[in-house]
Chain A
Amino acid sequence: MDKRPAPLLREEELHTLLDGRLDAAERDALEQRLVQDPAASATLQAWQRQREALRSLHGEVLDEPVPAALLAVAGQAQHAHQQAQQGWRWGGMAAGVALAFGMGWFMHGQLQSPSSGALLARQQPVREFVHQASLAHAVYAPEVRHPVEVGSAQEEHLVQWLSKRLGRPLKLPHLNEQGYELVGGRLLPGDEGARAQFMYQNARGERVTLYLGSAPDNVGGQGSTEFRYSADGPVPGFYWVDEGFAYALSGALTRQQLLQLAQAVYHQL
């Protein structure tokens, strides 16, 4: 009888075993060798868990009814407007990006104005924050088909998820009384860590965004500021710092409308 230990399993053999690509005899043979190969055994178990997690990831989609739009496409011959729509979609994104870059320059110029050097130094990080808030608004607010990562239908989950990412419990303000319904939210990168953007929309399709995240380190003495208005860019907004957290409410609205919304947000936080 052969006393030599069985050869260690090759990765390829692990895949075939995991993916069920072997007949019974081959499987038995591999499983016997696996007993003497704890490293391969552990890898296989980890991959098995991974496989199951992946298979359940969007499993609910398999049971959902097929959306009518897709059924319609499947049921008809090619239609020409698809090309036009495709062009519109990419064109729209490109315009959003161009606007964002343009606005970067614009705000760059606008922010050079204050006379006091000390004031400038202290406000610089907040300006950066406001700048990023406006940028995020300019990029995502024009998006027609996918403006947010998590939609309002999963509001509770949205809040849990972003709270975890930002490392502090968030409260999602509602602006329904002001005529704005939640569209959803997304996670964005920022200088001090993760930032969140919530998007709202009124009946006319006008959108405002609330952008929030940890305030830049050297803001004020108390970690709080009053409302400030940033009016010169294409997307004006009010911003403020409260208990170490910075907020910016942006939208293509009048100063008075924005102030009302900002106050409504502030009172709910």
Chain B
Amino acid sequence: MNRQPLIDQIPALRRYARALTGDAWVADDLVQDTLERACAKWRLWLAGSDLRAWLFTIMHNLFVSQVRHRVRQGDLASPLDLAGLAEPAAPASCADSAIDLQRCLLRLPEEQRVVLLLVTLEDLSYAEVARITGVPTGTVMSRLSRARSRLQELMDASAASPARAAAESAAPSLRRLK
């Protein structure tokens, strides 16, 4: 069986996973799990159908179950759970602004972050994103709206008041998950 099409998808999967989790190791673990699952279920994929959408669906399902698992375990060790604690300060350099953007992203609820990233990074249609995430297209649109507005607020707030960084990080709040 020719695996080249699968290999061609890996860079996009890695980028998406990294933005989604904010951690290179966690992201590559997620990609690895996705590939393993895909290999195991290879026969379920209909040749000629959209390989990318299928892979992103597998990854989405793994991500959701990992988040649930982590919540059940009360896992404090995950970088995901700590990432939301610090209010980003004003970007001073390219690398800093990227880290701030990533931190703001991680403060979005998972379901909004997923939709925003699938639309923005992968240029998937709203209907494809709806299929991948298993929700109606209308829900995709409302999550996209909330994600874009909320991310903008977070970025504006972080640019406006870097001094709040320390104050806010001193008052951690538990992550919201449903």
Residues of B within 8 A of A190 (CB): 169-170
B89 interface residue (CB < 8 Å to A): yes
Asked whether A94 and B73 contact (CB < 8 A) given A54-B121, A61-B18, A190-B170, the answer is: yes
Chain B 1-23 against A: per-residue CB contact (8 Å), 1 yes, 0 no?
00100110011101100110001
In chain A, what residue has the closest Cβ to B25?
A146
Stretch of A62-70, A231-239, A248-256, A259-267 that contacts chain B: A62-70
Whether A189 lies near B169 (C-beta < 8 A) is yes
Task: Give the contacting residue for B15; candidates A50, A58, A69; CB below 8 A.
Answer: A58
A219 interface residue (CB < 8 Å to B): no
In chain A, what residue has the closest Cβ to B1?
A77
Question: In whole angstroms, how far apart are the Cα atoms of A154 and B93 in the complex?
Answer: 14
Whether B89 lies near A15 (C-beta < 8 A) is no
Task: Give the contacting residue for B76; candidates A82, A100, A166; CB below 8 A.
Answer: A100
Task: Give the contacting residue for B86; candidates A53, A55, A100, A194; CB below 8 A.
Answer: A194
B92 interface residue (CB < 8 Å to A): yes
A9 interface residue (CB < 8 Å to B): no
Residues of A within 8 A of B19 (CB): 54, 57-58
Chain B 145-163 against A: per-residue CB contact (8 Å), 1 yes, 0 no?
1001001100100000010
Question: In whole angstroms, how far apart are the Cα atoms of A194 and B163 in the complex?
Answer: 12
Query: By the criterion of a CB under 8 Å from any partner CB, how many residues of chain A are at the interface?
Result: 65
Question: In whole angstroms, how far apart are the Cα atoms of A21 and B141 in the complex?
Answer: 13
Residues of B within 8 A of A61 (CB): 11, 14-15, 18
Residues of A within 8 A of B33 (CB): 82, 86
A4 CB to closest chain B CB (Å) equals: 26
Question: In whole angstroms, how far apart are the Cα atoms of A69 and B120 in the complex?
Answer: 27
Question: In whole angstroms, how far apart are the Cα atoms of A60 and B102 in the complex?
Answer: 15
Residues of A within 8 A of B170 (CB): 189-194
B28 interface residue (CB < 8 Å to A): yes
Whether B77 lies near A160 (C-beta < 8 A) is no
Question: In whole angstroms, how far apart are the Cα atoms of A173 and B91 in the complex?
Answer: 25
Whether B32 lies near A139 (C-beta < 8 A) is no
Whether A67 lies near B39 (C-beta < 8 A) is no
Task: Give the contacting residue for B39; candidates A78, A140, A160; CB below 8 A.
Answer: A78
Question: In whole angstroms, how far apart are the Cα atoms of A50 and B116 in the complex?
Answer: 11
Query: By the criterion of a CB under 8 Å from any partner CB, how many residues of chain B are at the interface?
Result: 67
Whether B23 lies near A146 (C-beta < 8 A) is yes
A33 interface residue (CB < 8 Å to B): no
Task: Give the contacting residue for B36; candidates A82, A94, A160; CB below 8 A.
Answer: A82
A40 interface residue (CB < 8 Å to B): no
Whether A12 lies near B169 (C-beta < 8 A) is no
What is the interface of chain A mostly: helix, strand, loop, or mixed?
helix
Tell me the A179-209 residues at the B interface (CB within 8 Å): 186-194
In chain A, what residue has the closest Cβ to B75?
A93
Whether A160 lies near B93 (C-beta < 8 A) is yes
Asked whether A149 and B23 contact (CB < 8 A) given A74-B35, A77-B39, the answer is: yes
Whether A187 lies near B86 (C-beta < 8 A) is yes
Whether A54 lies near B76 (C-beta < 8 A) is no
A152 CB to closest chain B CB (Å) equals: 13
Whether A50 lies near B155 (C-beta < 8 A) is yes
A73 interface residue (CB < 8 Å to B): yes
Residues of A within 8 A of B78 (CB): 93
B142 CB to closest chain A CB (Å) equals: 9
Binding site for B on A (CB under 8 A): 11-12, 15, 19-21, 46-47, 50-51, 53-55, 57-59, 61-64, 66-67, 69-71, 73-79, 82, 86, 89-90, 93-94, 96-97, 100, 139-140, 143, 145-146, 149, 154, 157, 160-161, 164-167, 186-194, 214
A-B contact pairs, 8 of them (CB 8 A): A15-B119, A57-B19, A64-B11, A93-B73, A93-B77, A149-B79, A164-B89, A189-B86
Binding site for A on B (CB under 8 A): 3, 6-7, 10-12, 14-15, 18-19, 23, 25-26, 28-29, 31-33, 35-36, 39-40, 69, 73-79, 82, 85-86, 89, 92-93, 95-99, 101-102, 105, 116-117, 119-121, 123, 125-126, 141, 144-145, 148, 151-152, 155, 162, 165-167, 169-172
The 3 A-B pairs at the shortest CB distance, nearest first, are namely A193-B166, A146-B25, A78-B40
